[in-house]
Amino acid sequence: MEEINALFHGFSVILTPMNMLLMMVGIVLGVLIGVLPGLGGANGVAILLPLTFTMSPTSAIIMLSCIYWGALFGGAITSILFNIPGEPWSVATTFDGYPMAQNGYAGQALTAAFTSSFIGAFVAVVMITFLAPLVAKFALKFGPPEYFAVYLLTFCSFVGMGKGSPFKIIASMTIGFALAAVGMDTVTGQLRLTFGLPDLMRGFDFLIAVIGLFGIGEILLSMEEGLAFSGKTAKINPKVVFETWKTLPKYWMTSVRSSLVGIWMGITPGGATPASFMSYGLAKKMSKDGAKFGTGQIEGVIAPETAAHAAGTSALLPMLALGIPGSPTAAVLLGGLLIWGLQPGPLLFVEQKDFVWGLIASMYLGNLVGLIVVLTTVPLFASILRIPFSIIAPVIVVICAIGAYTVHNAMLDIWFMMVFGVIGYVFKKLDYPLAPLVLALVLGDKAEDSFRQAMLLSQGEVGILWSNPLVGTISTLAMILLFWPLLSRLLAKVRKPKPKDLPQEQPVD
């Protein structure tokens, strides 16, 4: 009951004309940032952070967090319409969202993505509201072994539940790990795999890789296949939206499961990107239509979008309660808190009640406003499909180049983008999955740091990954998922009926 009273107090804090205006501005800016490849929620928040220094901390955090919500919504738009993830966590949405758009169901895919994002965020905010003390206490138990176990679980789940050959998935992931190792070693400070090139000191940015692999790679593939978009005649209207809403309750179990995965990965902190991959893999494994995933299944859109938004929202809880950011955007917001003179931690909930509960209340309203904004602008974005490919392709290339350049303001990144584009084209021609490469590139250095810290703590003993029930459970589950393809084959052989149990053929008279 105390949480309910505090939440109502939070609503009274944010329900002012200025805060509502800032909320709307933040949502619109966030959607634009999410649509443009390369910017991303973290970059958008970082760029606009100086504009909030003259505001009160509550108004500033409302605007910046709403930019984040808008970016989470907007990332699905280009993923579904053009197979270009506006955000790294939208990669999994392309697997079924883009085929749906090609088949003429762009409206259904967008509506399902936006609605699922809202549901995931709503479940996460309810969890934050009522379980904040328990979650904060649980997160305190995490050290380097637990962090590495979570990353290991993410990688292994993609191998065990990914579509296609496990060997191709591992090969793609290995390339991602190699790319993630380029640059300066965060532990020893030594340079690795730079080959004497100073520009490689900072390594390969995953945003540039995503833009090249999916954006430029898709453009090259489309050029080879005839310079045309299928699905460009898609029509979207309120009838499509309401019809899609009628079908979504059938997938309530997928939404619940994906929300839980997202919340887990947001708190621990795995992040929205692995959450979207994991939930997609689980949905594919558990769905009766799992074999059809990748051909345009609406369930393949619901799962990653629900998990990504749940993870993005729940990532703010450890940032507020413990000062541990659960995502890059949460890390930027943490810097804002320190600039505004606020010290994240358990005392923040006691000393700054207006700020904390105002932020939580803005999560409810911000996501509702975001859903309304993106649904009302769906026809505008769907009309992009009607533009001839010969016109839109150069525009996409220019937008990708601008997005790649803005990451570090370096011309070299545009060349990297083109190289990754060729790699993406080759991977698609050889039927190698791109998602494991991106996943390893995003999380490879973090997983390496956690593993090395764990090994330093245990003096090289791998047994630290089973040193307590929490890390042991996560590590064991990771091993099961890693060898799941082999285990499933063994189970199939065990369940295979013996010859004597098979029905005998009747003799023909």
Q: Is pLDDT at 186 greater than 80 in this prediction?
A: no
Q: Residue 236: pLDDT band by 50, 70, 90 thresholds?
A: low
More confident residue, 158 or 191: 191
41-55, 166-180, 211-225, 443-457: least confident range: 41-55
Give 129's contacts (C-beta < 8 A, 6+ positions apart): 3, 7, 360
**pTM, entire model:** 0.63
Mean residue pLDDT across the chain: 77
SS3 192: strand
Going by the DSSP 8-state scheme, the letter that residue 201 receives in this structure is T
Give the model's confidence band at 233: pLDDT under 50 very low, under 70 low, under 90 confident, else very high.
very low
What is the per-residue pLDDT across 103-114, written as a single tens digit (0 to 9) for each? 878 788 888 888
> What's the rounded Cα separation, in Å, for the pair 133 and 127?
11
Tokens describing residue 442: 């995003």
Of 95-104, 205-214, 459-468, which gets the smallest average pLDDT? Answer: 205-214
Segment holding 22, helix H or strand E: helix 17-35
For residues 242 and 108, what is the distance between their CA atoms, to the nearest angstrom? Answer: 10
Phi, psi at 267, each rounded to 5°: -80, -35
pLDDT tens-digit readout, 401-429? 876 787 677 788 889 889 988 988 888 88
| pLDDT surpassing 70 at residue 347 | no
86 or 119, higher pLDDT: 119
Spatial neighbors of 236 by CB under 8 A, at least 6 apart, are 106, 107, 110, 378, 379, 382
What gap in Å lies between CA 463 and CA 485, rounded to an integer? Answer: 25
